[in-house]
């Protein structure tokens, strides 16, 4: 995940699905599943990616297809993108996901480990292993764990009928539209 992708149309689908899975109980008002988010955050690369935000333009089509599914999510993402705050921390700050969501936002970067060879490879593997351990420590106790990577959403849960699932963005958007139409 790169900060430049925050708020794109894929995020709209992912966040909408996660919000639906964690909907509050109609009886108690408490969220059914506690959510832990691990951003597989890497430094932004040069380029013009991350421009899939046309869904946020005020047009009858966008308002009908996207905003009508989840007006609060749509408006929040529009504020983040149009306010030039495309950063994973904005998702937490704006409470786009359920308010008790636990986030791990530490970037995974190898900027100081650019060498080649077995010793450097082993250093990178050890660093990545420690990063994963810290991430899991942060989200321990959450019912639903998700990791955002470019173009994918990885979900782990003991509370859902699937254990490990990777969803492509188009399926996520279809699920959100289906959930939003009910």
Place of tokens 């013009």: 48
Say whether pLDDT at 61 is over 90: yes
Question: pLDDT at position 42, please?
Answer: 85
Instruction: Give the pLDDT confidence of 113-135 residue by residue, as tens digits.
Output: 677 888 888 888 888 888 888 98
Percent pLDDT > 90 in the chain is 31
Could you give the C-alpha distances from 131 to 38, 51, 57, 122, in angstroms and in order? 11, 29, 37, 14
Mean pLDDT of 90-114: 88
Tell which wins on pLDDT, 147 or 153. 147
Instruction: Give the pLDDT confidence of 1-53 residue by residue, as tens digits.
Output: 888 889 999 889 889 988 888 887 776 766 678 889 988 888 877 776 667 89
For residues 91 and 6, is the Cβ–Cβ distance under 8 A?
yes
> Sorting pLDDT into bands at 50, 70 and 90, what band is 157?
low
For residues 157 and 33, is the Cβ–Cβ distance under 8 A?
yes
> Sorting pLDDT into bands at 50, 70 and 90, what band is 165?
very low
Q: What are phi and psi of 120, to 5 degrees?
A: -70, -40
Place of tokens 């539209």: 177
Say whether pLDDT at 182 is over 50: no
CA atoms of 169 and 51, how far apart (whole Å): 15
> Sorting pLDDT into bands at 50, 70 and 90, what band is 164?
very low
> Which of 39, 15, 14, 4 shows the shortest CA–CA distance to 135?
39
Question: pLDDT at position 151, please?
Answer: 52
pLDDT mean across residues, the chain: 79
Domain ranges for the chain:
3-180
Question: pLDDT at position 176, please?
Answer: 41
């Amino acid at each position: 995940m790169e900060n430049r992708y925050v708020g794109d149309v894929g995020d709209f689908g992912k966040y909408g699905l996660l919000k639906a899975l964690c909907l509050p109980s109609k009886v108690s008002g408490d969220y059914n599943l506690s959510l832990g988010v691990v951003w597989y955050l890497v430094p932004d690369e040069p380029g013009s990616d991350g421009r899939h935000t046309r869904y946020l333009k005020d047009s009858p089509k966008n308002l009908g297809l996207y905003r009508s599914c989840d007006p609060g999510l749509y408006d929040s993402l529009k504020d983040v993108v149009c306010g030039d705050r495309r950063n994973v921390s904005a998702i937490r700050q704006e409470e786009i996901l359920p308010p008790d969501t636990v986030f791990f936002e530490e970037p995974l970067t190898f900027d100081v480990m650019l060498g080649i060879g077995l010793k450097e490879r082993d250093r990178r593997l050890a660093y990545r292993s420690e990063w994963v351990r810290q991430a899991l420590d942060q989200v321990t106790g959450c019912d639903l764990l998700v990791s955002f990577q470019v173009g994918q959403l990885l979900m782990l849960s003991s509370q859902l009928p699937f254990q490990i699932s990777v969803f492509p963005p188009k399926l996520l958007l279809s699920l959100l539209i289906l959930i939003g139409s009910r």
